[in-house]
A and B are shown apart, each in its own frame.
Chain A
Amino acid sequence: EIVLTQSPGTLSLSPGERATLSCGASQSVSRSYLAWYQQKPGQAPRLLIYDASSRSTGIPDRFSGSGSGTDFTLTISRLEPEDFAVYYCHQYGTSPRTFGQGTKVEIK
């Protein structure tokens, strides 16, 4: 099983700042099959990024993904008020599919 470790656990930032979230895998993620999701309280997760760097339909371009192998990054270039949420990475290249434990982006 591929274990995904997200860091930091909590990120305290102000609107307009840049957020950098990391996701490390215990072994290489096949074909960079890694996705990022955003989840707000009481809501279902929403896909932001798939295949490590492709933005899902309707996702603003302030969200970007990068990385390969065992190290992946989600960057939010300038935080908007609606971006404060929990973010999860997920690998779908190998069964069982696994998720990271999440990074909470909170208002400083």
Chain B
Amino acid sequence: VQLVESGGGLVQPGGSLRLSCAASGFTVSAHFMTWVRQAPGKGLEWVSILYRGGTTYYADSVKGRFIISRDTPKNTLYLQMNNLRAADTAVYYCARDIWFDPWGQGTLVTVSS
């Protein structure tokens, strides 16, 4: 069972980025999948969750700007991030199940001009 994030990088404020989380060893669509972020030197912040049935939830801080989705044939979870702000700068992790296990290694998103 493994999760591998990609897609992070440097983006200007107001820009967009799409993160990917490629899963192996299990089927993404059969599990709850979530995104969690961690700003530099800070604690963990839950971002979004995608239920097996397709229901989605978002933290208030990203609601209306981020979209969580999955591609079943590719067995991959995504996070589309729009209208990015400096406060979105963080390492973004994907994780499986309602109690978040396992986690990917994370991908760094830096929002700066």
Q: Is the interface of B mostly helix, strand, loop or mixed?
A: loop
Query: Provided the pairs A95-B57, A96-B59 are in contact, do residues A47 and B102 lie with their beta carbons within 8 angstroms?
Result: yes
Residues of B near A46 (CB, < 8 A) are: 103
Q: Which residues of A (5-59) have their CB < 8 Å from a CB of B?
A: 33, 35, 37, 39, 44-47, 50-51, 56
With A35-B99, A47-B99, A50-B99 as known contacts, state yes or no: A99 contacts B45, CB within 8 Å. Answer: yes
Alpha-carbon distance between A72 and B107 when the two chains are bound, in angstroms: 31
B99 to A: closest C-beta gap in Å:
4
A61 to B54, CA, bound (A): 36
Task: For A44, list chain B residues within 8 Å (CB).
Answer: 93, 103-106
**A62 interface residue, CB < 8 Å from B?**
no
Against B, the Cβ 8 Å flags (1 = close, 0 = not) of A67-94 are 0000000000000000000001010100
Count of A-B residue pairs with CB < 8 Å: 53
Distance, CA A98 to CA B59, complexed state (A):
9
Interface residue B87 (Cβ < 8 Å from any Cβ of A): no
Residues in A with CB closer than 8 Å to B71 are: none
Q: Are A35 and B100 in contact (CB under 8 A)?
A: yes
Write out, one digit per residue, whether chain B residues 86-113 have a CB within 8 A of any chain A CB (1) or not (0).
Answer: 0000000100001111111110000000
Taking the nearest CB of chain B, how far is it from the CB of A53, in angstroms?
12
In the complex, are the beta carbons of B57 and A45 less than 8 A apart?
no
Of B49, B98, B100, chain A has the most CB atoms within 10 Å of the CB of B100
Selected from B34, B60, B103, the residue in CB contact (under 8 A) with A45 is B103
Chain B's nearest CB lies how many Å from the CB of A86? 8
List the A side residues contacting B99 at CB < 8 Å.
Answer: 33, 35, 47, 50-51, 90, 92
Query: Which A residues have a C-beta under 8 Å from some C-beta of B?
Result: 33, 35, 37, 39, 44-47, 50-51, 56, 88, 90, 92, 95-102
Beyond known contacts A44-B105, A47-B99: 8 more, CB 8 A cutoff: A33-B99, A37-B100, A44-B104, A45-B44, A45-B100, A90-B99, A95-B57, A96-B60
